[in-house]
Copies of this chain bind each other. A is one copy, B any other.
């Protein structure tokens, strides 16, 4: 029997746990789901005979080490900055680890020791990063195998709300960590455009957007992601002139979000004390350089041509310009904004979310320029069984199966960019309805 420990039972875990429970008999698994919140963990295991739930505090070192020692394979679904002590214990006790997070420098530093001990530290095996790597590398390797030279690679992904549940003027509801959405993009984006190094600082990231067309779901706004340049090495894109990764949002979201950035409402560096003595309109007013009139008039005057009826509708929807009271006693502007958005952008029980991913390639083959796009749309079932939970959790679950079946045998720090993992992973995702559509132009 293989004992699996899943640390964290939050929003991204239902599909992961469900898949492993489904395969528990065949693979002879016992699954422990551990979370700070015992009830949350219990809900996820559904009294399955091969699973149990426990209360677990990651900061309790004794419990952390004991638990890791008692299991064969660890999956950390905690926020990325919390993986390190788990990974260190995994190496120490020779246990495999899987996460859906980017490889940090500290994680990478464990590679040699993990490799020597035959321990796998599989990371970036969710949606983005995860499915993006696997699906892009499958196309890249296929183009290279034909003798093609890739000159352009653009890759976009967005966790959105499905059209049938899209009932607010922002076209957005939270299907994952709201804090990450509020703080998104707070560093300079870097990419290559026609051979030119290109930077976009945060102050205009949501203004300098592109429009991305899909065949089935219309057009989206895309803003550039943090560091696209690093993909030149990790994807082996030697000849690339354009290299860009971006995040998708519904049309109109970015220009309204830019107003929040310009105001300063996404700032997370200082705390406003006694915030609960303020209303949201007073908060907005405190950031406006024009103080003379009513807050909406001041905002409108200040924004000039940036203001339009759509933004008015979006701000009205949030009640940002009303005397709605702030409830938190204190918080950074970003935290006070987040509290409001969590109320307004709640994914309701029957709401469906949507994942859209699109890769665009341009390559030279036989002295001709070829274009290819590869697109994925996944719609969630409801607010629990989200497209986000499926696309983050299933790649992890499948990867674990591949390791247990000894179909994927690499050790050390790994990400899913090689055929031994992406081929079986994408095949099984396809059979589960997570399917890319390729198109040549």
Contact = CB atoms under 8 A, between A and B. Distances in A.
Contact of A188 (B187, B190, B270, B291): B270
Interface residues of A, number: 32
Contact of A289 (B208, B270, B333): B208
A211 to B, nearest CB: 15
A287 interface: yes
Given A187-B270, A269-B187, A270-B190, A201 B289 contact: no
A263 interface: yes
Interface in A264-283: 264, 267, 269-270, 272, 278, 282
A200 B290 CA distance: 12
A196 B333 contact: no
Contacts of A272: 197
A121 to B, nearest CB: 25
A188 B286 contact: no
Contacts of A18: none
This chain's copy number in the assembly? 2
A199 B286 contact: yes
A199 B287 contact: yes
A201 B263 contact: yes
Contact of A204 (B202, B267, B289): B289
A332 to B, nearest CB: 9
5 contacts: A188-B333, A196-B286, A197-B282, A202-B203, A203-B262
Interface of A: 187-188, 190, 193-194, 196-204, 208, 227, 261-264, 267, 269-270, 272, 278, 282, 285-287, 289, 291, 333
Given A200-B287, A200-B289, 8 more contacts: A187-B267, A188-B269, A193-B291, A198-B286, A201-B262, A201-B263, A201-B264, A202-B203
